[in-house]
Structure 1
């Protein structure tokens, strides 16, 4: 019996171990908070891809993005860039900022835009009409530049509030660190982020609390994804 090279804390480990054969394509998500990234070490853990945080809002750039974006090219990992969406600035200007920071190549994965309720918006969510408009503006600006449709990273709450029936052409990166996505939720997810507290066990890996992600498909489908 094969032993998974992934270790996740508490219940997430047993959850992933049970389902690992169903999701052969595994990935991680990183940002400056993870410090120096040993990309060769990550690659040795049978990881196929990595998403690297690039930008947030209209002005912020992740301090480690440029070096991570360059150094990952020394591996076989497919790379993708992510943007943290702000409700406090226009979507179009956020898209312009992302395009200025991120230079893509043919084999890169489609960009991800992370949409979550933060700070005061946890208690007082913004109006749906405003979020949908600004998010569509962001997507259009980035699509016009990069030529790829974007992936929306959301949890069930954000999906139901803002995304459902509004972004039918966008793939979904579903965040649920407690349960496997169920058919009852009827969320057509392409990626599943199942833990934010994962550790990699092989190689010179020092990072703690990495985000672990799986692709909903086989390796052949993943190779074609985003092309």
Structure 2
């Protein structure tokens, strides 16, 4: 992503002015162009992230004290916020991120990091318990990737057919509660090893930070592209994941009209 230094500097200066140090919220519905940097930029071939007009981020406990008004004016038009893991873990920053994004009129959605050591129904109920139905919220996200860090679950890797069955069970419970068909997030390795291309009728959010989705997931349609884990965004300390929406500004508005919670 091209670093637009002048705009970033002006946004940072704006964040330092006034009380309590943040610009006033921008009007709801206004889309801002991405004024992001990247601490480890990649030169993509084909249709690059810059070709897409609507950008956003995803955040978790690693991001603290986000100035959401500044971030929104820098091009954070949407945010996926980590809510839960497994059947008993809640992200410590979920509530503050959820509230802050909402106050800044950032379109927000919540995601669940899946564990293979807990029944999918239990995980779905845990997500529902912790993520309130909120008008305008984006569809829930099921984050499917292998977890090498869990002390108890890192080596539990069911066969592909079992993986897909567990996913369907979680998706059914969550869709019934929110009235929204969830989005599936995944990584290249997990997608390939579990044949997730078999899922039809779901929007995909795809991670690929070295190549375009067309190169990494041939033939797979997608709605969101996580294209960097090293983004630099005014209002956020440290690196943050960057994402692009698949269509035009009009496509974004049309997608919200049919997918956001009324």
Give yes or no for TM over 0.5: yes
Is 2:134 the partner of 1:102?
Answer: no
Q: Which has the larger radius of gyration?
A: 2
Farther off after superposition, 115-124 or 185-194: 115-124
Q: Deviations over 1:116-158 (max 9, x none)?
A: 1122888773211221111111111100100111111112222
**SS of the residue 1:29 aligns to:** strand
2:158 maps to 1:126: yes
Aligned to 1:190: 223
Q: CA deviation at 1:180?
A: 1.2
Tell me if 1:19 matches 2:52.
no
Of 241, 247, 253, 1:211 maps to: 241
- Structure 2 unmatched ranges of 5 or more: 5-33
Structure 2 Cα separation of the partners of residues 106 and 177 of structure 1: 32
| Counterpart selection for 1:157 from 173, 189, 196 | 189
- Residues 1:163 and 1:219: Cα distance change in structure 2 (over 3 Å): farther
Aligned-pair distance for 1:9? 2.5
Cα displacement string for residues 32-80 of structure 1 (whole angstroms, at most 9, x for unaligned residues): 1112211112111022100110000011000111121112121121000
> 2:194 is paired with a residue of what secondary structure?
helix
Aligned length: 222
Change in 2 beyond 3 A, CA 1:182/1:20: closer
Most deviating of 159-168 and 105-114: 159-168
SS in structure 1 of the partner of residue 62 of structure 2: helix
Q: Equivalent residue for 2:145?
A: 116
1:7 equivalent in structure 2: 37
Q: Give the structure 2 partner of residue 70 of structure 1.
A: 99
Give the 3 Å change call, closer, same or farther, for CA 107–206 of structure 1 in structure 2.
closer
TM-score when scaled to structure 2? 0.78
Alpha-carbon distance, 1:20 to partner: 4.3
Give, in angstroms, the shift of residue 206 of structure 1.
Answer: 4.1
| RMSD of aligned Cα (Å) | 2.4
> What TM-score results when the alignment is normalised by the length of structure 1?
0.89
Tell me if the contact between 2:109 and 2:137 (Cα under 8 Å) persists in the aligned partners.
Answer: yes
